[in-house]
Structure 1
């Protein structure tokens, strides 16, 4: 996946061969923040402008901008998976949060 990062926000980039442009969309927020351009340098500029416009609009409306991640994850998993993860964490000498953070990081980088 091709991505760009700006001010802590990430965007997925795809090429649209029909229109011969790059299209981007900010990930991890409910609001739709999209942009497009015909070159990579223009795409960077369009991403920055789209995100800056989103942040300015939030400020103007007195709304806190949505962040891609808060650092808190609530999961519903099967009890046997929960038990196995707890045992794996304890075997590694870690809390379940520490263990899960490492597992998530490895999975996200794969």
Structure 2
């Protein structure tokens, strides 16, 4: 099971590494890697903030955009029955399929 943690406005995926008995955090949505380890939640927040700060400072020194690029286009392959159901749900809500799917994704992905 994966969980997420928001640290200074950036989302990190948290997993447990049984080999070392520690939690591992990895920031998502960055143009490079920034991960951190700790034994508890307080440690994750502290180490995550440090890892993020070091990453952002390195990007600033090098003139690199710290955020991953996204085109805004998603191509999904879904079963025909799901496509049909989504189209009907969109129509029932008075939205295009794109507008409806955008709202569903926003509701699911944003805190």
Tell me the equivalent position of 1:47.
Answer: 48
Contact 2:7/2:45 (<8 A) preserved: no
Aligned pairs, how many?
106
> What TM-score comes out, normalization by structure 2 length?
0.71
Query: Cα deviation per residue 1:11-42 (whole Å; 9 max; x = unaligned)?
Result: 12122233222211112335221101223212
> What TM-score comes out, normalization by structure 1 length?
0.71
Tell me the equivalent position of 1:89.
Answer: 90
Name structure 1 gaps, 5 residues minimum: none
Tell me the equivalent position of 1:74.
Answer: 74
SS of equivalent residue, structure 1 residue 18: coil
RMSD: 3.0
Query: For 1:1-110, what aligned pairs fall within 5 Å after superposition?
Result: 1-67=2-68, 72-77=72-77, 84=84, 85-86=86-87, 88-105=89-106
